[in-house]
A and B are shown apart, each in its own frame.
Chain A
Amino acid sequence: MTPSAALAPAERALGLIGPDLTEKSLRLHLEGLSGIDAVGLEERAAALGTRSIKTTSKAWALDTIIRLVDLTTLEGADTDGKVRSLVAKAMNPDASDPTVPRVAAVCVYGDMVPTAVDALGSAHGDPDEGNISVAAVATAFPSGRASLAVKTLDTAEAVAAGADEIDMVIDRGAFLSGNYGLVFDQIVAVKEACRREDGSYAHLKVILETGELNTYDNVRRASWLAILAGGDFIKTSTGKVSPAATLPVTLLMLEVVRDWHRLTGERIGVKPAGGIRTSKDAIKYLVTVAETVGEEWLQPHLFRFGASSLLNDVLLQRQKLTTGRYSGPDYVTID
């Protein structure tokens, strides 16, 4: 792509950068973003992680975490049965306690979407109304190494099968070699593939795979790029690369989202995924969200945890709070 080549006309980018939206103008914008003070960012994240959350606040935090979880199974060995049991757990996380809220969504591979939709039945819908969404990973997850035609077909199939949310991966190779325009155009194309027959769009979560982006500056650029191209959510990781979600990276992405909100009044979601296994860790994320973008972000349309083993730990903590005794892994499901 030549530097002067025009990019796909994404509404947000046109609004921010202007009508002459080209590879060059996008690059100038992204590389003009101020650098990150890495030490300051990590210290800020560490400081936010030291809050002690107890009793009623902890009970509220645990229920909020459950409501924000994208319960995930992304294994090569996934079967229909496994997805059905995942859905059963999403609808009723703790069989011994019906007061436990439902999770926000189940996250599966694209070919498992019909199974998940079928298993959810009437519970399939908007998490704001107490229902559960179906999220599908698409675009040659987790590597993203496929042609654009394959990626958009992958996405369109999942949407047609009933996916409410699409988790796409960006082409990290293209991003790291400075080919921002290619990444931008692909996100715009995938966003278009999220369009349903009735003209509405499936929510698009853009996975930056921060563990492969190497620097905080790159994470900030990728976040801006994903938002400008039309992402509804920016998501840290696939969960297949280490390090996955970390608190400093999530804080940084939340800051970008905060800046975008100040600039345009528009709210973008953030989803840390991978590596969040304990309630204690998850509560640190809640604190970070509340302190960075505000408590209004603590709702399923604006913040999610991508997790599988986190839910069990939260349930154990919840049982401890309700019974006053420590619980054990025999009292939650084996995933």
Chain B
Amino acid sequence: MVGRLAVPKTYKLYIGGKFPRSESGRTYEVLSKKGAFLANAALASRKDARDAVVAARAAFGGWSSATAYNRGQVLYRIAELLEGRRDQFVDELVSAEGLSRTAAVKQVDTAIDAWVWYAGWADKYVQVAGNGNAVSGPYFNLSTPEPTGVVAIVAPQSGGSLLGLVSVVAPAIVSGNTVVVVAQQSAPLSAISLSEVLATSDVPGGVVNILTGSPAEIAPWLAGHADVNALDLAGAGDLGWVDMQITAADTLKRVIAPEVGAPAPSLHRIVALTETKTVWHTKSLI
């Protein structure tokens, strides 16, 4: 009897809640740690990045005006779905990154825990990062952090592909930003699987847009894009990131500098992608 033919999965981009191929039609081979063929992934072009920014901008209004409580619930729900797909992520990490099963399980668990940790901040970071300012007059003076807009992210290129992606995407979207993220080039498969989780969750399409391909090719276009409000260069340490920072300054972007490996969970990453609004309220009629 002839054995069953395996049905290989086509890994595509995730833009605006849909899974398009690259506009350029290009793909690249994703290999396992030992050099065996795993899959063809889409090699995103600058036009895919442009489309992703348009999708992210369109999604920003709805996502940023959702209540903090609602955003938190949506993010918790993603953690629940991640938990349900643990085995798939573990298998992917074992084959793509050559990890032992134990190490892969540990990375998936750490990623889910980081996601839950960030989800919890949704309705709390404003209280911690905001302030009631003392002023010499009959006014309330309140400073509150607000989402900055569209955030372009270069995901960490080492230190675990799933954990790295989660560690940069979660702190950006928790405050109401929308993101365009370039996944780890050598191991993009878990990023696309994460996008399948996002697509079946309650996150509106366009809030997270995932590109696979070469960060060196795409990131400079995102750094120069006038409709991107912030740039997280977490995984751009080897890319001449200073030039990108200079380009980003032309359009007054917030920039987070590169780190080695997956950034540890921190409130700083949430607040760095917000802008502070200060309002004065009269104290009359008290």
| Residues of A bordering B, CB below 8 Å | 319, 324-331
B71 within 8 A of A: no
The answer to whether A325 touches B227, judged by C-beta atoms less than 8 angstroms apart, is no
A328 close to B227 (CB less than 8 A) = yes
Chain B residue with minimal CB distance to A331? B226
Select which of A319, A324, A328, A331 is within 8 A of B57 by beta carbon.
A328
Q: List 22 A-B contacts (CB under 8 A).
A: A319-B226, A324-B224, A325-B221, A325-B224, A325-B225, A325-B226, A326-B50, A326-B53, A326-B221, A326-B224, A326-B225, A326-B226, A326-B227, A327-B227, A328-B57, A328-B225, A328-B227, A328-B228, A329-B227, A330-B226, A330-B227, A331-B226
Looking across the interface, which residue of chain A has its beta carbon closest to that of B225? A326
B residues in contact (CB < 8 Å) with A: 50, 53, 57, 221, 224-228
Q: A331 vs B53: C-alpha distance in the bound complex, in angstroms?
A: 15
Q: Shortest CB–CB separation between residue B70 and chain A, in angstroms?
A: 26
Q: Which of B50, B224, B226 has the most CB of A within 10 A?
A: B226
Q: Which residues of A contact B57 (CB under 8 A)?
A: 328-329
Give chain A's interface secondary structure class: loop
Q: How far does the alpha carbon of A91 sit from the alpha carbon of B57 in the complex, in Å?
A: 29
Identify the 6 closest CB pairs spanning chains A and B, nearest first: A328-B227, A325-B224, A326-B225, A328-B226, A327-B226, A326-B50
Task: State A319–B50 Cα separation when bound (angstroms).
Answer: 14
Which chain A residue has the least Cβ–Cβ distance from B49? A326
Q: How far is the CB of A96 from chain B (nearest CB, A)?
A: 11
Determine how close the nearest CB of chain A comes to the CB of B167; give it in whole angstroms: 27
Residues of A within 8 A of B225 (CB): 325-326, 328
Residues in A whose Cβ lies below 8 Å from that of B224? 324-326
Chain B residues lying within 8 Å of A328, measured Cβ to Cβ, are 53, 57, 225-228
A330 to B225, alpha carbons, bound, how many Å? 12
A326 to B48, CA, bound (A): 12
Closest A residue to B220 by beta carbon equals A325
Q: Which residues of B contact A325 (CB under 8 A)?
A: 221, 224-226
Q: How far is the CA of A324 from the CA of B223 in the complex (A)?
A: 12
Bound Cα distance A327, B57 (Å):
12
- In the complex, besides A319-B226, A325-B221, 17 extra interface pairs with C-beta distance below 8 angstroms are A324-B224, A325-B224, A325-B225, A325-B226, A326-B53, A326-B221, A326-B224, A326-B225, A326-B226, A326-B227, A327-B226, A327-B227, A328-B53, A328-B227, A329-B57, A330-B226, A331-B226
How far does the alpha carbon of A25 sit from the alpha carbon of B53 in the complex, in Å? Answer: 58
In the bound complex, residues from chain B placing their C-beta under 8 Å from that of A326 are 50, 53, 221, 224-227
In the bound complex, residues from chain B placing their C-beta under 8 Å from that of A330 are 226-227
A138→B57 CA distance, assembly (Å): 38
Q: Which chain A residues border B227 with CB–CB below 8 Å?
A: 326-330
Q: Which residues of B contact A319 (CB under 8 A)?
A: 226
User: In whole Å, how far is A331's beta carbon from the nearest beta carbon of chain B?
Assistant: 6
Taking the nearest CB of chain A, how far is it from the CB of B13, in angstroms? 17
- What chain A residues lie within 8 Å of B228 (beta carbons)? 328
Chain A residue numbers with a CB within 8 Å of B226 are: 319, 325-328, 330-331
Which of chain A's residues has its CB closest to B50's CB? A326
Contacts of B50 in A (CB 8 A): 326
CB distance from A28 to the nearest CB of B (A): 52
